[in-house]
Amino acid sequence: MEVELCPILRSFGSEQNVLSRPDGSASFVQGDTSVLAGVYGPAEVKVSKEIYDRATLEVVIQPKVGLPSVRERAREQCIRETCEAALLSTLHPRSSLTLILQVVHDDGSLLACYLNAACMALIDAGLPMSSLFCGITCAINTEGQIITDPSVQQEKESRALLTFAIDSVERKVMMSSTKGSFSVKELQQCIAVSQKASEEIFQFYRDSVKRRYSKIM
């Protein structure tokens, strides 16, 4: 299948230290999709949930309307596993880390936005991590074109939707969540596209942190 590749990432932005109460907080905006993340930790953990040699990570996703449903639980699972792979949780045994994500506006590629906001909030909280991670969503539309960072309209018209979490050290895939049908070749192409796109996002992370501490350094 011939694939014409002209994907773009929508304009994105983020603000750190948005909220005063959480230890770390960040808001991440991709196009019109906007997510707010807050991190508390390392803090006291309930005895029933404590793990003797590492920190207990809890992820909470709050939808805008109504009570959280199974979809939110599934996404919480994806994000928790990504974070646990990246965080050095053995440095804080018997503690709790709580990550809370609130969707402010959903205009496509929501899971990727959650991941990016989560990473920025963890950076803002100063939690030790072995690598940074970012989320990229690819959509394959009916003609076989790969679109990165799709909007809600593009997501509806696509035949497959793939989200990958890419780590910053070796550009490996930490987590993947897909919907729809696609061939193995398309999967590999999407992974390669995501890896390329992740470079942009990691550069953005570096720039924003550099900018934040520019007055000090």
Partner 1 sequence: MKDTPLSNCERQFLLKAVEEKKRVDGRQTYDYRNIKITFGTEYGCCIVDLGKTRILAQVSCELVPPKDSRPTEGILFFNLELSPMASPAFELGRQSELLVKLNRQLERCLRNSKCIDTESLCVISGEKVWQIRVDVHVLNHDGNLMDAASIAAIAALSHFRRPEVAIQGRDITVFTPEERDPIPLSIYHMPICVSFAFFQQGTYLLVDPCEREERVMDGLLVIAMNKHREICSIQSSGGIMLLKEQVLRCSKIASVKVSEITELINKALDNDKRARKEGGKFGFAESMPKERITALKKDEAPVEMTDVQDTANEIISRTEAQPDIVKVPSPVVPAPGTGQVGEGLLNTWGLEEEEDEEEEQHEKEEMSTGEVMVLSDSEEDDVVILNPDANKPKRLEGGSKKGVEAPKKQKTSH
Burial class of residue 212 (count of CB atoms within 10 Å of its CB; 0-12, 13-18, 19+) = middle
Task: Count how many Cα atoms sit within 13 Å of the Cα of residue 119 in the half-sphere of its side chain.
Answer: 28
Q: Is 211 in the site for partner 1 (CB under 8 A)?
A: yes
Taking CB under 8 A as the criterion, the residue among 123, 140, 160, 197 binding partner 1 is 197
Binding letters toward partner 1, positions 57-86, x by CB under 8 A: ---x-x-xxx--------------------
Contact status, residue 115 vs residue 81, Cβ threshold 8 Å: no
Q: Closest approach of Cβ 98 to partner 1, in Å? A: 7
Q: Is 36 in the site for partner 1 (CB under 8 A)?
A: yes
Residue 130 or 203 having the CB closest to partner 1: 203
Residue 149 or 167 having the CB closest to partner 1: 149
Contact status, residue 147 vs residue 168, Cβ threshold 8 Å: no
- From 134, 110, 120, select the one nearest 16 (Cα to Cα): 120
- From 134, 135, 127, select the one nearest 39 (Cα to Cα): 127
Residue 58 or 81 having the CB closest to partner 1: 58
Residue 82 or 95 having the CB closest to partner 1: 95
Q: Is 10 in the site for partner 1 (CB under 8 A)?
A: yes
Residue 169 or 173 having the CB closest to partner 1: 173
Rg, C-alpha atoms of the chain: 17
Task: Count how many Cα atoms sit within 13 Å of the Cα of residue 197 in the half-sphere of its side chain.
Answer: 30
Residue 129 or 190 having the CB closest to partner 1: 190
Rounded Cα distance between 198 and 114, Å, is 15
Distances (CA, A) of 115 to 67, 118, 205: 21, 5, 13
For residue 166, how far is the Cα from the chain centroid?
Answer: 9
Q: Closest approach of Cβ 51 to partner 1, in Å? A: 16
Residues that bind partner 1 (CB under 8 A): 3, 5-22, 25, 27, 29, 31-32, 34, 36, 38, 40, 43-44, 60, 62, 64-66, 96, 98, 100, 102, 104-105, 107, 148, 184-185, 188-189, 191-193, 196-197, 199-200, 204, 207-208, 211-212, 214-215
